[in-house]
Amino acid sequence: MHPLRPLSEDEFLKAKDILIKSYHVDSNLLFRSIYIEEPPKADLIKFLAAEHGEAGRNESVPSLPRLVKFVYDVIKGPGEHQLTEKIIDINSEEVVHHQSYPAWCQSSYTMPEFAAFQDACVSSDLFKEALKEFELSSNFAITIDPWPYGGLEAGEKMPRYMQGLVYARDASKDNLDSNHYSYPLPIIPVMDVVHKKLVRIDRLATGGRDDPLEPTPPSGTPKKLFTANKPAEYVPELLDRPLRTDFKPIDVTQPEGASFTVQDSSLVTWQNWRFRIGFTPREGAVLHDICYAGRPIIFRLSFSEMTVPYGDPRPPYHRKQAFDFGDGGCGRAANNLQLGCDCLGAVHYLDAWLTNTEGKPTLAKNVVCLHEQDNGIGWKHTNYRTERAVVTRLRELVVQFVVTLANYEYIFAYKLDTAGGITIETRATGIVSVVPIDEGKTSRYGNVVSPGVLAQNHQHIFAVRIDPAIDSYDAGSTHVVLEESHPVPMNPETNPYGNGYKIRRTPVTRPMFADAEPKLNRTVKLENANKKNETSGNNVGYKFIPNATQLMLADPESTMAKRAPFARHHLWVTGYRDGELWAAGDFTNQSQMEVGGVKAMVERGDWFGGAERTANDRKGADGEANGNGSGNGSGNSQGKLSIPVVWNVFGLTHNPRTEDWPVMPVEIHQLHIRPADFFTTNPALDVPGTKNDTSVLVSCCGKEKTTAENGGKASGEVQRDPVVHLQGTGSDIDPKNIGG
């Protein structure tokens, strides 16, 4: 059995049985996550090298254990939970790892914890008394969005908390999909999650741009709500406008089926690509062992983290910051995708087994979809002398999953194309998070998208983790280089006409951070240090250019910023350690600062490339910037010779528009990882330039196409060389006929 194969139901149950037996007395356990633990990388690359038949290896292939990780609470008494982690080898039926965590380590919320929030509010006298401060029409029903509690204040110690945003739904419409976000209430309840009991109700300021940050105290007379609020429906049957009738179908048809194959539920092959798909409760879909024509490119590719800090400084909004991977888990929130809606054409779906709180396997159906899509022209050239045009289409294989996190949806996709490229795409949609604002007022902290409804300014900052293996599984063969294009002053020796520029390459010899620099076209090159391209003589590699997106705007000394230092730079390069997968560290829920994230990985002072650290490497690890917009933390005794892991960070600063209401059109970001001297020619040369025979001509202005427009003969002058617009002159010339 392959060590990266997803966990089966039988393995799930067997592993749980081994765990239960490891306790010699009955214990009350609350399960948070159960999933495959990947083998140590050093062992796994030996396995992969043998699997692919990589030449030159004499090492014996290890018999890899089948490991399952459990994260759970041991409930020792009322309100006393001990967060625990165990790893079980289901082949040897042994516990190979056990760890108990201190109280400050708050794991991600479970779905039952989120679900308990509304029940806690309904049963609470605190909540009932808070509602008496408002006058609501009888047609409204209360609905509540649970939210992570956010970061604690400095020195603040609290049990496991959760907060919530409160809304009202117009029940008179007799439709549970009626949009409740257009009716926000000015309160935030706070729940002790362990005891499932409200501990307080925070009141919200509802004033405008020149009003105080603090909320207005209750007057004693119930405040009438929603006097000017309007419905904001999005489901078709409740819209205030008819659906378009001139929308003709576009059908994606693949009469011969899909070009990709899926084996053993995780191995995918398509157009020279070969990779495996994993799925974890925290990350969602993960790609392993990405190869092209048998040559490895990336060992592991994943979305690592996302933080969403809100820019409204009025308390308690300073706690409104979510880490959607660490606080809740994108895998847990993955949608059950539907054929013909989320993915089109010939589609293959992958399921995943997740746990409930009792440790029972539950099937997450259709959480990942695979399909092919056309992405326009791939390459084209027209020989203007012969009027021969050769054109191919850029086809992509898409691995996609979609998550719903309260009001927002995120669409995550890995796209592999016929030219050897990898695109990592993020789309944000759904409904903006809104709070109440007094009628007729505007705000510095967001935009009024509907009467009485303020959509707050916020950011979405993502981190993608790239563990490269460029053309080899050998540890240390992949190096990282920052490549920039710099102007050269005009000078008589090297640039007499001023048109020249130079390429500057800076090897990354130690962990560091850097930012995008469009003026220098700062490019991250992932190269094999030992293999040269036989044509160019350059190291074979792949590259990407970090996009110059805006990053964390919160003050560096704020709790928001201290919890997410990864969100302050576009690029991080760290030294590899098994199990280090999270840009913001293992525990983000209620954190006050990052522990174990990329900042800590940089600060421990690793080094790359070579058997020992040079004097310059030691100097750099002690805090010297390398002059390319990068920086390093303090070196310490934890540092060691390592191999690089690359993290790309990008942000979407969302200052809401009225066009984002009631459901926002997608905001799209793409990271393009492209071959750079990895091949000796365009790898898509052999893509057939087939003509799509189902394409048809469309008439204009209600008229039929003329004979000439349809390619036939007609009166009047027709352009002689329509393909090339009369470029060039004539055909080839025999040299003997020149000048004679």
Domain that holds residue 125: 111-238
Same domain, 123 and 92: no
Q: Are residues 13 and 91 in the same domain?
A: yes
Contact call for residues 287 and 301 (beta carbons, < 8 A): yes
Q: Tell me if the bond preceding 662 is cis, omega within 30° of 0.
A: yes
d(C-alpha 562, C-alpha 556), whole Å = 7
Q: Does residue 417 carry a catalytic annotation? A: no
Query: Is 686 part of a structural domain of the chain?
Result: no
Q: Please write the tens of the pLDDT for every residue from 434-476.
A: 999 999 999 999 999 999 999 999 999 999 999 999 999 998 8
Which residues pair with residue 292 across a beta bridge?
273, 295
Query: For residues 358 and 489, what is the distance between their CA atoms, to the nearest angstrom?
Result: 69
Six token digits for residue 32: 């948070």
Domain termination residue (choose one: 100, 134, 155): 100
**Sequential DSSP letters for 623-653:** T---SSS-B-----TT--EE-EEEEEEEEEE
Catalytic (active site) residue 324: yes
Last residue of a domain, one of 70, 100, 130: 100
User: CA-based angle 505:510:515, to the nearest 5?
Assistant: 60
Give the span between the Cα atoms of 150 and 592, in whole angstroms. 9
Q: Is 70 domain-assigned?
A: yes
How far, rounded to the nearest angstrom, does the alpha carbon of residue 275 sit from its chain's CA centroid? Answer: 19
Q: Are residues 54 and 135 in the same domain?
A: no
Q: Cα–chain-centroid distance for residue 112? A: 24
- Asked if residue 41 lies in contact with residue 64, where contact means CB atoms within 8 angstroms, the answer is no
Q: Write out residues in the chain with pLDDT < 50, as ranges.
A: 55-56, 610-635
Cα(357)–Cα(363) distance, rounded to whole angstroms?
14
What are the Cα distances from residue 28, in Å, to 96, 103, 195? 21, 18, 16
Mention every residue, 6+ apart, whose C-beta is less than 8 A from residue 394.
Answer: 374, 375, 376, 377, 378, 379, 417, 418, 419, 684
Catalytic residue among 109, 408, 445, 473: 408
CATH number at residue 131: 3.10.450.40
Catalytic pick among 324, 586, 617, 660: 324
d(CA 306, CA 563): 12
Three-state secondary structure along 154-188? CCCCCCCEEEEEEEEEEHHHCCCCCCHHHCECCEE
232 and 153 co-located in one domain: yes
Q: What is the pLDDT of residues 660-709, one digit of tens each?
A: 999 999 999 999 999 999 999 999 999 998 888 888 888 887 666 555 55
Q: Mention every residue, 6+ apart, whose C-beta is less than 8 A from residue 353.
A: 6, 7, 8, 9, 12, 361, 362, 363, 364
Number of folded domains that form the chain: 2
661 secondary structure, DSSP code: S
Measured from the Cβ of residue 450, the count of other Cβ atoms closer than 10 Å reads: 21
Give the residue from 73, 100, 127 where a domain finishes. 100
Contacts (Cβ under 8 Å, ≥6 apart) of 388: 382
CA distances from 94 to 29, 60, 98, 487, 667 (A): 19, 24, 11, 61, 47
Residues 82 and 119 in one domain: no
Residue 21 sits in the same domain as residue 137: no
R_g of the chain computed on alpha carbons: 29
Q: Are 246 and 237 in contact (CB under 8 A)?
A: no
